[in-house]
Amino acid sequence: MQPRDELGRVVANLQALPSQNMHAQRRFSGRSLVQFYRHGSLSIDTPDDLSPGEENICRDQLVLLENRATEAARDIPQGPPSQREEGRMRHSVSWQESPVPPDRLAQVLRDWYARNRRLLPWRASPGTLQDPYIVWISETMLQQTSVATTIPYFERFIAAFPTVRALAQASLEEVLCLWQGLGYYARARRLLQTAQILESQGGHFPTTLQDLLKLPGIGRYTATAIASMAFGEPVLARDTNVTRLVLRLFSLTDPTCIEAQVSPLLHPHPGDTNQAFMDIGALYCRAHRASCPACPLSPFCRTSQENAGEILFAAPPKEQKPTRYATFFHISAEGCLLLEQRPPQGLLGGLYGLPTTAWDSEQEQAVVFPEALRLIPQWQESAQFSHTFTHFRLHVHVLQAQLPRCVPFACPSWIWVPYAQLAHYALPTLFRKALRG
């Protein structure tokens, strides 16, 4: 029997269910039957272009869906709507019992990735291993940073430091300068430190997960990404998006079971499978409103099937961050700007910025000028703004002064920098906001 006939048969069987079992019809007909495999392109009217592999997937899913529809019709009690609501049961078949074997699901993931993957500058062609250095840099940048924000920074960084050796030979200031605006600057410092260690050991990456984990500054997620994408080791690269997707796909509640469930799907191209999970998790299986109808894994997803094809999670209330107050001092003279290099440790460590008061005040107070600035006679307030860090919001007052000449200050961390040379100094977004006024 052809897929068209099978589709028609199952739809007819579903439509013949007793009218009081509308829940079963809504759960298992319509979208679930017409979007087995392709991203919105498979329908009852156009199944003739299916490949043999896609036809097998359709046939397997039809059997699974029909069985579930029959169970739903049998198990939903008759009676008033309130009784039907109480009688609804979640039907889920373990993947071990499912007629869709792991190798079939793995093939779906790889096929989808080959056709629909996001085209990103750090990715290699499907089925090929990637450069471990490229994986390392991109995955480090993507931590706490969106893909769209990361792309231009990645391209500039790789243009400046195309190899481990080039990065290892760079100065911290050069690395921080390219990183400015990307945030979480400790990542840049760790990249440089690790590159120097790799270069001292011959400039080559370890080729196994266990050896990658021995490198300082490379955590488990980054190590699994490198091991799978660059060296073909069958390990799951599990970030937040992938964790959420796999928990829903298999209707799991215990995250410690994820690796065991996914392990059969990682062969023979674990890098492609991992990146398929990443893309589907980011594009469709979002945290608070999943796009189940468009998701290529919807026919396989137990959580989607248990929730009538739609997964809704209320967004948690945003945690109120404490507000701190600080004053920045914007001082110019003779075409130069007074900058302060911040201490190497701590927030924005090692970067340049305007001289400031302490950032620990939780109440707005009168300005306490640093001793070196108390003799400046005239100040103007040039700006007020707020800037959000991970754990607090900083409310900033900017005071501006113009001096006749670049006087020396008794602060070794303060330097005069010509405005024309500011691009050579790592100046975070926070201080660039202050300079814009």
Query: Are the beta carbons of 339 and 415 closer than 8 angstroms?
Result: yes
The neighbour count for residue 434, using CB atoms within 10 Å, is: 23
Interaxial angle between packed helices 186-200 and 172-179, expressed in degrees from 0 to 180 and rounded to the nearest 10: 140
Query: Are the beta carbons of 66 and 10 closer than 8 angstroms?
Result: yes
- Long-range Cβ pairs for the range 385-391 (8 Å, 24+): 385/433, 385/434, 386/323, 387/429, 387/430, 387/433, 388/321, 389/347, 391/321, 391/322
Query: Are the beta carbons of 130 and 226 closer than 8 angstroms?
Result: no
- In whole angstroms, give the CA distance from residue 43 to residue 37: 10
- In whole angstroms, give the CA distance from residue 109 to residue 321: 40
Is there a catalytic annotation at residue 139?
yes
Query: Are the beta carbons of 150 and 134 closer than 8 angstroms?
Result: no
Torsion of CA 350, 352, 358, 364, to 10 degrees: -140
Q: Which of 54, 86, 97, 139 is catalytic?
A: 139
What is the CA 391 to chain-centroid distance, rounded? 19
Catalytic center residues:
139
